[in-house]
Amino acid sequence: MRFYITTLGCPKNTVDSEMMSELLRQAGHLPVGQMQDADVLIVNTCGFIEAAREESYGVLEELAAIKGRRQRLVVAGCLAQRYGEKIRRRVPGVDAIIGTRSWPEIVDLFTRLDQPGRDRTMVLRREGNLVTSVRRHAQSGSTAYVKIADGCDASCSFCAIPLIKGRQQSKPPEEIVREVGELTAEGVREIILIAQNTTAYGRDLGMRDALPDLLRRIAEVSPAPDWIRLLYAYPQDVSPALIEAMATLPAVCHYLDLPLQHAHPDVLRRMRRPYDMDRVYDLITTLQKAMPDLSLRSTFIVGFPGETEAEFEALLDFMAEIAFDKLGVFAYSAEEDTPAATLPDRVPPEVIAERYERAMLLQQDISLFRNREQVGEVLPVLIEGSEEGLSLGRSYRDAPEIDGVVLIPGDYPPGEFVRARIVEAQAYDLVGEVE
């Protein structure tokens, strides 16, 4: 059968979609570039927060309304895992639902889609193990995400991920190294390691310092990746060994995504984030001493239950003091069955929106300040594409999709590195000229 996959949500879903596609290809099914040409439409959904759920439902409802009589609609991902029965009720046109740990059964599901007498909607949401044996092929140009673990053992009061994905399961390091080798052999230049908490990698396997050891093994792959990037590092798990590996391995980008979520100790306590701000300050100082050119990213939540104006102001003060190179802000969303959803003193929606705007405006000024520091610097830039006479690329300072780009006059081949002198700074992007 011919299939078309729509992927919503985070890079972890992107990896799962690529794995599903490869399993289907190996079984003789054919991916197509237009949904009207497909026999089966697969939507890999996000169910992390309310806005993501509504986006997923919107896509499902649209596809259910326009799909052809013989087309089948399959729902995968986090929304499918947690809200399978609700999907059946809300989107009657769905033919099958397959959860986050059941997607390896996608080939079997395809064989059953048109079986006589099957249930109107098949639901596969069994608890399974993390799949490690699917061969990876480069599907996204010169950059590839590699999921090193799935699930999460943390107990943050606002987060539904442990309810959706279960406890952490780490991939064996040899499987990750094999996967990276398959990708670099096909021309991938940048490997981005992802998990719910990358810095907890290997703990469930009984390993110590597993992530720095993994970085060293990946750096020795042949052909070696030019860049290795880390996302989703938790501050309490950033070890001296990891900092040393990042600082000394040439391929590891001096870039760290460190989601802190807040800066006031009382809010952190209500969030059940297991660290204090003294530890955070010490960690940032250590990171910047080891890597003076570090690009530091974080994310924060505004409007968490009980957040006072003084607590929010403390967050703004911290943002201004640290001056993060990159930063994302989320408006708090109460998630069903999470401890935070039952906390008192809910912040009114209009106050949450106002705080979100203030935080984003502050970060816009900080980002411009940080970008202006780059003017005159010469940076390696990985070209990703071009439009209207400009090539678009990224330096080590920017992760795909969530950060900015470097704009370079001229037409340079995607997947190639150029050395660009930065000549102009914008709020989120840089302008460079090839040396």
In percent, the amount of the chain with pLDDT more than 70 equals: 94
List CB contacts of 74: < 8 A, sequence separation 6 or more: 40, 41, 42, 43, 94, 95, 96, 97, 98, 106, 109, 113
**Residue 253 scores a pLDDT above 80:** yes
Cβ(187)–Cβ(224) below 8 Å: no
**Residue 101 scores a pLDDT above 80:** no
**Residue 264 scores a pLDDT above 60:** yes
For residue 141, name the pLDDT band (cuts at 50, 70, 90): confident
**Residue 84 scores a pLDDT above 90:** no
Evaluate the CA torsion angle 398, 251, 384, 22 in order and state its sign.
negative
**Residue 135 scores a pLDDT above 80:** no
**Residue 80 scores a pLDDT above 60:** yes
- In the DSSP assignment, the letter for residue 220 is T
Length of the chain: 435
- The pLDDT of residue 268 is 97
- The pLDDT of residue 137 is 61
- The pLDDT of residue 321 is 98
Provide mean pLDDT across the span 47-65.
92
For residue 117, name the pLDDT band (cuts at 50, 70, 90): low
Whole-prediction pTM value?
0.90
Evaluate the CA torsion angle 219, 223, 225, 226 in order and state its sign.
positive
Q: What is the mean pLDDT of the chain?
A: 93
List CB contacts of 235: < 8 A, sequence separation 6 or more: 258, 260, 275, 279, 280, 283
Q: Which residue has the higher pLDDT, 121 or 351?
A: 351
Task: Kindly list the domain boundaries of the chain, sorted by start residue.
Answer: 2-124, 143-372, 378-434
Domain 143-372 has CATH 3.10.310.30: no
Q: Which residue has the higher pLDDT, 430 or 104?
A: 430
Q: Is the peptide bond before 223 cis (omega within 30 degrees of 0)?
A: yes
**Residue 46 scores a pLDDT above 60:** yes
Whole-angstrom distance, CA of residue 75 vs CA of residue 57? 10
Whole-angstrom distance, CA of residue 393 vs CA of residue 189? 13
List CB contacts of 200: < 8 A, sequence separation 6 or more: 149, 152, 153, 154, 168, 234, 237
Residue identified by tokens 């390696």 is: 380
Longest dimension (CA), the chain: 68
Q: What is the pLDDT of residues 349-399, one digit of tens each?
A: 999 999 999 999 999 999 999 999 999 999 999 999 998 899 999 999 999
- The pLDDT of residue 91 is 94
The class that CATH gives domain 2-124 is alpha beta
Residue 102 neighbours by CB distance under 10 Å: 20
Provide mean pLDDT across the span 137-146.
79
Cβ(280)–Cβ(260) below 8 Å: yes
CA-closest candidate to residue 338, choices 82, 149, 125, 75: 82
Whole-angstrom distance, CA of residue 420 vs CA of residue 435? 6
Cβ(78)–Cβ(45) below 8 Å: yes
- The pLDDT of residue 204 is 94
Provide mean pLDDT across the span 11-18.
90
Whole-angstrom distance, CA of residue 73 vs CA of residue 304? 37
User: What tokens appear for 6 in the block?
Assistant: 């729509």
Provide mean pLDDT across the span 309-318.
99
User: What tokens appear for 395 in the block?
Assistant: 């330096």
CA-closest candidate to residue 215, choices 232, 198, 237, 203: 198
Would you give the distance in Å from CA 158 to the centre of its chain?
18
Domain 378-434, architecture per CATH = Beta Barrel (2.40)
Query: Strand 430-434 and strand 417-425: pairing?
Result: antiparallel
**Residue 99 scores a pLDDT above 80:** yes
Whole-angstrom distance, CA of residue 186 vs CA of residue 402? 25
**Residue 55 scores a pLDDT above 80:** yes
Give the three-state DSSP class for 329: strand
